[in-house]
Amino acid sequence: MVGGGQLARMTHEAGIPLGIRFKLLSDTPQDSAAQVVSDVVIGDYRDLDVLRAFAQGCDVVTFDHEHVPTEHLRALEADGVVIRPGVEALLHAQDKGVMRKRLSEAGVSCPRHRIVADPEDVARFAAEAGEGDGFPVVLKTVRGGYDGKGVWVVRGVEEAAEPFRAEVPVLAEEMVDFARELAANVVRSPHGQAVAYPVVESIQVDGVCDTVIAPAPGLSEELSATAQEMALKIAAELGVVGHLAVELFETRDGRLLVNELAMRPHNSGHWTQDGAVTSQFANHVRAVLDLPLGDPRPRAPWTVMTNVLGGDYPDMYGAYLHCMARDPALKIHMYGKDVKPGRKVGHVNTYGDDLADVRERGRHAADYLRGTITE
């Protein structure tokens, strides 16, 4: 697996019961996954020679992020390395402009969008909406953004200069009036077997995922099925192998629009570690190795994942004593990461029959582990 973050750490954990030998390309020995994987190569994923040396002896190469240069992946594939989800599929998670074009051609509903050349072109795009000056609009660098980075909400042409300073193409999108954000997680194997997890609600705070509720409360069976079918269609159309997260807007008039794609385990699927028969991590491992996929059904009526963000970190042993004693059913997952304000350093999963109770338990544990509450 290329990338040493928490996604690699949890994917490695899922492969242990299957006896899978796991090799990791990590930036530093301190990275989350590098702390727990025995076979670690320290190197730069942007260096083709490093990638070629790393891939030797690997049956399959997969990823915990989308940032490996596309041309390097094509070179590896030409060398005979098995890349999953596949270079041409992964391109649609790497480049938002390519993704929007392909999904639109496939008839998948997306926000109004186009590549823009400069701030004046942004103003023209905004005006095309036909309502006033059309602002605000959303600007995104086509590559490299995550957790709110590389994304700007601009309310006028005078605010539109900053995205162009990176000197990469900029995608303009309409500012969607959405009721909430959803995510449809599916997994697809090389021979086309696919499974779909329940559609979840994803709650963002300052551009970072804070809480995921599975299944999305109040979502009709019809709209839930539509979201799952959309995700399965995208996986098949793009030839995805492994886990695919389709982040969605549910609009106030009841439509679904695709926001982002991720072709790897995803924050919106962390609830599956404790809340589904087979986790997203285990199914990703099965898919990239072309093993039969596991059951994605939920174990409880409600599961809530709450992210633990960096803050005024308490004594962790004391925090564990409190949280585990207060809630013996609580599942804590910490990543071994250095604490920085607002950084994801772990998550907690709670589950049960009463959604309000499940949410309160998750919120209390995450806040206590962060150090923002003391009782």
226-284 residue pLDDT tens: 999 999 999 999 999 999 999 999 999 999 999 999 999 999 999 999 999 999 999 99
Q: Which sign, positive or negative, has the C-alpha torsion 7, 282, 346, 356?
A: positive
175 belongs to an annotated ligand binding site: yes
131 belongs to an annotated ligand binding site: no
331 belongs to an annotated ligand binding site: no
Q: How confident is the model at residue 342 (pLDDT cuts 50, 70, 90)?
A: confident
Residue 148 is predicted with a pLDDT of 62
**What is the distance between the alpha carbons of residues 121 and 169, in angstroms, rounded to a whole number?**
12
Residue 201 is predicted with a pLDDT of 98
Per this entry, what is the length of the chain?
Answer: 375
Residue 323 is predicted with a pLDDT of 97
Residue 17 is predicted with a pLDDT of 97
128 belongs to an annotated ligand binding site: no
Residue 149 is predicted with a pLDDT of 75
185 belongs to an annotated ligand binding site: no
Q: pTM score, two decimals?
A: 0.95
Nearest to 336 by CA among 28, 100, 61, 2: 28
Residues ≥6 apart with Cβ < 8 Å to 328 = none
**What is the distance between the alpha carbons of residues 156 and 151, in angstroms, rounded to a whole number?**
15
Residue 375 is predicted with a pLDDT of 85
158 belongs to an annotated ligand binding site: no
Give the chain's mean pLDDT.
95
340 belongs to an annotated ligand binding site: no
259 belongs to an annotated ligand binding site: yes
Per the model's pLDDT, the better-predicted residue between 93 and 340 turns out to be 93
Residue 8 is predicted with a pLDDT of 98
345 belongs to an annotated ligand binding site: no
Q: How confident is the model at residue 167 (pLDDT cuts 50, 70, 90)?
A: confident
User: Which structure tokens are listed for 353?
Assistant: 């029959």
